[in-house]
Copies of this chain bind each other. A is one copy, B any other.
């Protein structure tokens, strides 16, 4: 029996509802496997914690998390309560950075049982590999002058190391799939960082001569996510472009509420963090109607990363089977509660 220590951070809003649901499913999956068990340790770090303690996590929070195998996180942020730059940068982005989770992997595929908002979605199945540590999300910048003369400067920072790491990850991943990598660029309008991005892509792709590749500007690429998403296999994108494309990926699947994500420390020196694409959705939180599928699918990605792709596959099958039964939460046009959706998935998993 292998035991894994998982740090659980439900966080804010619907994170509190979907994380317990996903843990139930992961527990059931472990039982089915038979040779694997989880120790879940919960951390109450969120905006309420902030209001009480003046910080999103204790000073030794990162050190504490380093003792775990993986981190399973729901969502962070309560804009009405705590400013985003405090809550997100004090917990979510802080963990991404300090754990060097420099690759964010986010699949989007047409699930059985779900209706895409696209008229003819074909059978798309793509993965966005998002650079997760730098780029447009750099902390460097500030403001000068005041009143009419005020201005803000934001520095986007692209290092060869991080850019290349994301691209290599994308090429390696593509080799296990349909062997095509698309680079999301905007070098026609963004004149320093994106030509650099293109140059690194040229250099990396030379090492993968058997893999087909192309570069597409982010504006056209976003449009292609609507017009012909089935044409894409693996897409490598900067932090910002990856962020935008993966919400779009959720949308074309049918709901952002089902989109999963994995913040990977690919070197496996620190824990990785598994956290769905959606946020804390304060508007629907507390009513038991949130969609647990994004968090459950995110749990499947954790199993994949831990070396259990077979039971990961069972979970995705169970999700698709439940949706095919017509069990759907409100965001998918149905009336199922979080509980009912979870039960339907559990039922199929245990079959």
Contact = CB atoms under 8 A, between A and B. Distances in A.
Contact of A156 (B85, B115, B154): B154
Interface in A70-87: 77, 84-85
A193 interface: yes
A119 interface: yes
Given A151-B158, A154-B193, A188-B84, A247 B227 contact: no
Nearest to A145: B160
Contact of A119 (B116, B160, B218): B116
Contacts of A160: 147-151
Contacts of A206: none
A219 B244 contact: yes
Interface string A191-214: 111111100000000000000000
Interface stretch (A27-35, A135-143, A339-347): A135-143
Contacts of A141: 156, 191-193
A190 interface: yes
Contacts of A143: 192, 196
Interface string A240-270: 1001101110111000100000000000000
A189 B88 contact: yes
A139 B195 CA distance: 12
A103 to B, nearest CB: 17
A2 interface: no
Contacts of A154: 155-156, 158, 190-194
A121 B131 CA distance: 33
Interface residue tally on A, bucketed by range? 35 or more
B192 A239 contact: no
Interface in A146-200: 147-161, 186-197
B251 A223 contact: yes
B239 A189 contact: yes
Given A141-B191, A189-B137, A190-B136, A226 B153 contact: no
A222 interface: yes
Nearest to A141: B192
A85 B157 contact: no
A120 B117 CA distance: 7
A227 to B, nearest CB: 5
A72 to B, nearest CB: 21
Contacts of A188: 77, 84-85, 88
Pick the most buried of A141, A244, A250: most chain B CB atoms within 10 A of its CB.
A244
A136 to B, nearest CB: 6
A118 interface: yes
B226 A244 contact: no
Contacts of A77: 188
Contact of A226 (B117, B140, B195, B243): B117
A284 interface: no
